């Protein structure tokens, strides 16, 4: 096992492993029942005995770490992507959980910090899972896991070809709501607030192909002169509104 190599997406997929750093997030991994392969700790850092951590030199931990300054504890976790539900199955999940707002879809999101923040918001607002395009940043990228603060272990992330998948979900009768700055306000009573909420990438927003698969488009109204909202902020605002109305 090459821990340092797990910084690379292809290597994470090949080994079926990813890394988690910091006492808080490693603790979340253990508490969530993640399959911990190894745990390494610096000699001056105290961790629970049940972690069975291997004490290593500070220099060794710095080499393993993907962070600018190694936080003192690093775990290697086994990664098995969850099986993607069929569109009809997704519809059943919505029907069976009437208080659940739905699912988040991310179209080409590239910033790991935004991805992790959205995973955390999705868990907070009760979204049952996240659909991502192949162009979206890896769900177990070290910086995604760090920003998600434990949500990585509890919110399933399914990688799909979004246009085709969302078209099938829409055809099955599930609302698919994409965001566009020029669309009507998401706060309008006529706007759907349950189903699949689609957030686009930081630079170009929701792609034309994914927009075509949506049942409707909406926007988050504002009064300032800023060009747009940060993707994580926009997605969190939208999820909060869906949660309020669910």
Specify the pLDDT at position 29: 97
Helices (H), the chain: 9-15, 23-31, 58-64, 87-96, 112-124, 142-148, 162-171, 208-213, 231-245
Place of tokens 């690093």: 74
Could you report how far apart the first and last alpha carbons of the chain are, in Å?
45
Asked if residue 134 lies in contact with residue 159, where contact means CB atoms within 8 angstroms, the answer is: yes
Which three-class secondary structure state does DSSP give residue 76? strand
Specify the pLDDT at position 224: 86
Domains of the chain: 4-78 (3.30.1330.30), 87-245 (3.40.1280.10)
Which three-class secondary structure state does DSSP give residue 9? helix
What span, in angstroms and rounded, lies between the C-alpha atoms of 45 and 230?
A: 36
The list of the chain residues with pLDDT below 70 reads 1
Strands 54-56 and 36-42, sheet pairing: parallel
Q: What is the pTM of this model?
A: 0.94
Specify the pLDDT at position 1: 59
* Alpha carbons within 13 A on the beta-carbon side of 108: 13
Asked if residue 54 lies in contact with residue 38, where contact means CB atoms within 8 angstroms, the answer is: yes
Tokens standing for residue 236: 């969190």
């Amino acid at each position: 096992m090459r821990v340092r190599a797990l910084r690379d997406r292809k290597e994470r997929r090949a080994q079926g492993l990813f890394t988690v750093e910091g006492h808080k997030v490693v603790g979340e991994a253990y508490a969530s029942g993640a399959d911990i392969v190894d745990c390494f700790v610096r000699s001056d850092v105290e961790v629970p005995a049940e972690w069975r951590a291997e004490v290593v030199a500070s220099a060794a931990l710095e080499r393993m770490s993907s962070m600018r300054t190694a936080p003192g504890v690093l775990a290697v976790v086994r990664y098995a992507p969850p099986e993607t539900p069929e569109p009809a199955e997704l519809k059943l999940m919505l029907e069976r959980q009437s208080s659940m707002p739905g699912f988040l879809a991310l179209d080409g999101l590239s910033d790991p910090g935004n991805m992790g923040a959205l995973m955390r918001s999705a868990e907070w607002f009760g979204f049952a899972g996240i659909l991502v395009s192949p162009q979206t940043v890896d769900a177990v990228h070290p910086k995604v896991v760090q920003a998600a603060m434990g949500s990585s272990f509890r919110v399933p992330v399914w990688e799909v070809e979004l246009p085709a998948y969302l078209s099938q979900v829409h055809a099955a009768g599930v609302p698919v709501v994409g965001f566009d700055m020029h669309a009507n306000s998401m706060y309008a009573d006529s706007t759907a607030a349950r189903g699949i909420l689609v957030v686009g990438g930081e630079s170009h927003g929701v792609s034309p192909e994914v927009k075509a698969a949506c049942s409707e488009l909406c926007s988050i109204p504002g009064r300032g002169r800023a060009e747009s909202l940060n993707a994580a902020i926009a997605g969190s605002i939208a999820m909060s509104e869906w949660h309020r109305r669910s």
